[in-house]
C-alpha cells in the first residue's frame, strides 16, 4: 500500500498559547474547561500538551502506522520518526522502534479507546483490511456493563479495545450497576 507523503508545514502557534516551566503546577496549565491549551494546528490536527498517550515499541513503525490508518481509522499527526497517530482527541499513539531486548507485544497492557457512535462501522472497516502478522478481531460484543466492545490485536501483537455505549442498554444490568455504585459511595 503506497502512501502519499504529506508536505511538511510549519506549526502555527496561537499567541494565546502559553509556555510554562516544567516546575509549574500542572493543574494550573489547563484552560477554563480543564482542557490542555491548544497550541496550534498541524495538518488538520490540534496540537496540545497530551494529557496521556501510549507508546508502542514495534519492529516496523511505518508499516504498523499504515495498518492503523487502514484498519482503525487513525490519522497521522506526524509521519515521524517516530509516527504519531491519533484517532480522536486524546487517543494518541506513538510507534517507536523496538530496541534490543524489547519485551514482545501481547503481554503488556490492553489499551481502551472510546468509539461511541461508530463501533459497528469501525468493526466493518477493520474486517475489510486483510490480516497481517498477529492481527485479529473479536466482536463487537455486548458486555455485562452495558457497553459494546470490539477487541483488536494489531499485527505486532498489541491488544486494543474500542468501547461504545450499547444502543439499547439492558435495564437489569443498569440497575445492578446503579446498586453497585450506590453501595460504593464514600460516606460524605
The band of 126, judged by pLDDT with boundaries at 50, 70 and 90, is very high
Model pLDDT for residues 1-58, shown as the tens digit of each residue: 343 333 333 333 333 333 444 445 545 555 666 777 888 888 888 888 777 788 888 8
The pLDDT score that the predictor gives to residue 151 is 94
Please check whether residue 94 is in contact with residue 76, taking contact to mean a CB–CB distance below 8 angstroms: no
Model pLDDT for residues 79-104, shown as the tens digit of each residue: 878 899 999 998 999 998 887 766 66
For the ranges 115-119, 123-127, 143-147, the maximum mean pLDDT occurs at 123-127
Please check whether residue 140 is in contact with residue 152, taking contact to mean a CB–CB distance below 8 angstroms: no
Please check whether residue 129 is in contact with residue 67, taking contact to mean a CB–CB distance below 8 angstroms: yes
The pLDDT score that the predictor gives to residue 3 is 38
3-state helix, strand, coil in the chain (%, to 5): 20, 25, 55
Average pLDDT of the segment spanning 169-182: 82
Average pLDDT of the segment spanning 103-127: 85
The pLDDT score that the predictor gives to residue 24 is 54
All structural domains of the chain, each given as residue ranges with its CATH number in brackets, are 9-49 (no CATH), 50-183 (3.10.180.10)
Mean pLDDT of the chain: 79
Nearest to residue 74, comparing CAs of 100, 99, 54?
54
Nearest to residue 154, comparing CAs of 56, 53, 54?
56
Amino acid at each position: 500500500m503506497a502512501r502519499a507523503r504529506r508536505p511538511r508545514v510549519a506549526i502555527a502557534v496561537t499567541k494565546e498559547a502559553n509556555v510554562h516551566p516544567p516546575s509549574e503546577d500542572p493543574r494550573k496549565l489547563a484552560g477554563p474547561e480543564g482542557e490542555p491549551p491548544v497550541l496550534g494546528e498541524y495538518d488538520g490536527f490540534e496540537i496540545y500538551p497530551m494529557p496521556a498517550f501510549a507508546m508502542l515499541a514495534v519492529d516496523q513503525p511505518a508499516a504498523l502506522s499504515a495498518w492503523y490508518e487502514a484498519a482503525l481509522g487513525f490519522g497521522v499527526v506526524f509521519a515521524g520518526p517516530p509516527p504519531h497517530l491519533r484517532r480522536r482527541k486524546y487517543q494518541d499513539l506513538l510507534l517507536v522502534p523496538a530496541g534490543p531486548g524489547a519485551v514482545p507485544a501481547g503481554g503488556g497492557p490492553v489499551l481502551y479507546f472510546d468509539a461511541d457512535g461508530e463501533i459497528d462501522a469501525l468493526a466493518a472497516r477493520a474486517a475489510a483490511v486483510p490480516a497481517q502478522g498477529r492481527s485479529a478481531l473479536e466482536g463487537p460484543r455486548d458486555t455485562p456493563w452495558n457497553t459494546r466492545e470490539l477487541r483488536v490485536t494489531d499485527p505486532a501483537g498489541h491488544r486494543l479495545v474500542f468501547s461504545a455505549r450499547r444502543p439499547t442498554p439492558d435495564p437489569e444490568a443498569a440497575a445492578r450497576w446503579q446498586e453497585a455504585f450506590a453501595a460504593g459511595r464514600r460516606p460524605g
